[in-house]
């Protein structure tokens, strides 16, 4: 019993310490530009790496998600004789839930892992310490450009996933299941309003910030050696994915 209480206390202290480290990292990253703004070249490089290189995987994810959603919806609606309502399910679900969440999970695996591995390697090889010795703020130089790129480009990628998913659902529903295109478009416009698209993009902003902060924190606190970098990378992806799912639940309750 005593050992269990001690273990619980140690885990609690470790969790509080981690939260403090994340808060400190976030604060120092946000205020870093007040001292010195990073070069635009660095910002553009991060936007290209995080945004452009993520487009193919996001589009593929959105396309097949929309098609699977359309197929499942049609399969159930056909039993009730309301298969013309497929668009009423595909469009709002893609825009408000599946588009943002799956885009966030894909970015956590592709972008978050890359951030944690890169910064973890720099930590292990003492490159971050070298930056500090050269009077360069590592938070402003390494994290801030990544944070800006994630906050700006994640909602754009979410919108791409939404539209390609809706288009995939349309193609499958109309061309394969022979549902009149008029009904798909009619119910899509009826059940998907502007707030549906905006709310999905807002979720993308939150998810992008979580991916960047959590992944960079894991990179900055990576252990020594290749094992430490690998562990930090794995934890970054897992924690980012879990936080995306948890935050999506609360954001859904707030927004709807």
Read off the pLDDT of residues 234-247 as tens digits, 9 standing for 90 and up: 999 999 999 999 99
Using one digit for the tens of pLDDT, what is the confidence trace for 40-51? Answer: 788 888 888 888
Length of the chain: 256
The whole domain housing 9 covers: 2-255
* pLDDT, position 134: 80
The answer on pLDDT for 7 being more than 70 is no
Query: Quick one: pLDDT at residue 2?
Result: 62
Q: For 129-171, write each residue's pLDDT tens digit.
A: 888 888 788 888 889 999 999 999 999 999 999 999 999 999 9
- Of residues 140 and 248, more confidently modeled: 248
Read off the pLDDT of each residue in 113-125 and give the average, rounded to a whole number.
Answer: 90
Other Cβ atoms within 10 Å of 183 Cβ, number: 17
DSSP the chain: -HHHHHHHHHHHHHHHHHHHHHHHHHHHHHHHHHH-PPPHHHHHHHHHHHTGGGHHHHHHHHHHHHHHHHHHHHHHHHHHT-GGGHHHHHHHHIIIIIHHHHHHHHHIIIIIHHHHHHHHHHHHTTHHHHHHHTT--HIIIIIHHHHHHHHHHHHHHHHHHHHHHHHHHHHIIIIIS---HHHHHHHHHHH--HHHHHHHHHHHHHHHHHHHHHHHHHHHT--SHHHHHHHHHHHHHHHHHHHHHHHHHHHHHHH-
Q: Is the dihedral of CA 77, 80, 85, 91 positive or negative?
A: negative
- Identify the residue with better confidence: 126 or 215: 215
User: Which bin fits 40, alpha (ψ -120 to 50), beta or left (φ > 0)?
Assistant: alpha
Looking at residue 11, its pLDDT comes to 67
Number of domains comprising the chain: 1
Output the pLDDT for position 1.
61
Work out the average pLDDT over 176-205.
Answer: 88
Quick one: tokens of 252? Answer: 């859904």
Q: How confident is the model at residue 249 (pLDDT cuts 50, 70, 90)?
A: very high
């Amino acid at each position: 019993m005593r050992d269990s209480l001690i273990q619980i206390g140690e885990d609690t202290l470790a969790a509080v310490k981690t939260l403090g480290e994340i808060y400190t990292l976030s604060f120092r990253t946000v205020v870093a530009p007040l001292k010195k703004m990073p070069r635009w070249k660095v910002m553009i490089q991060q936007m290209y790496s995080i945004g452009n290189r993520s487009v193919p995987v996001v589009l593929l994810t959105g396309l097949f998600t929309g098609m699977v959603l359309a197929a499942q919806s049609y399969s159930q609606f056909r039993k009730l004789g309301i298969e013309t309502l497929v668009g009423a399910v595909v469009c709002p679900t893609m825009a408000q839930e599946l588009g943002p969440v799956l885009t966030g999970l894909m970015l956590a695996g592709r972008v978050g892992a890359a951030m944690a591995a890169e910064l973890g390697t720099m930590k292990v090889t003492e490159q971050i310490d070298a930056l500090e010795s050269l009077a360069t703020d590592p938070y402003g130089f390494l994290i801030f450009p990544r944070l800006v790129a994630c906050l700006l480009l994640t909602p754009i990628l979410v919108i791409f996933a939404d539209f390609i998913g809706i288009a995939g659902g349309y193609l499958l529903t109309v061309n394969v299941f022979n549902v009149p295109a008029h009904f798909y478009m009619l119910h899509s416009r009826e059940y998907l309003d502007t707030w549906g698209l905006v709310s999905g993009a807002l979720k993308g902003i939150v998810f992008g910030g979580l991916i960047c902060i959590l992944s960079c924190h894991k990179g900055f606190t990576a252990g020594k050696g290749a094992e430490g970098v690998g562990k930090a990378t794995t934890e970054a992806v897992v924690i980012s994915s879990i936080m995306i799912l948890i935050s999506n639940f609360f954001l859904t309750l707030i927004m709807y």
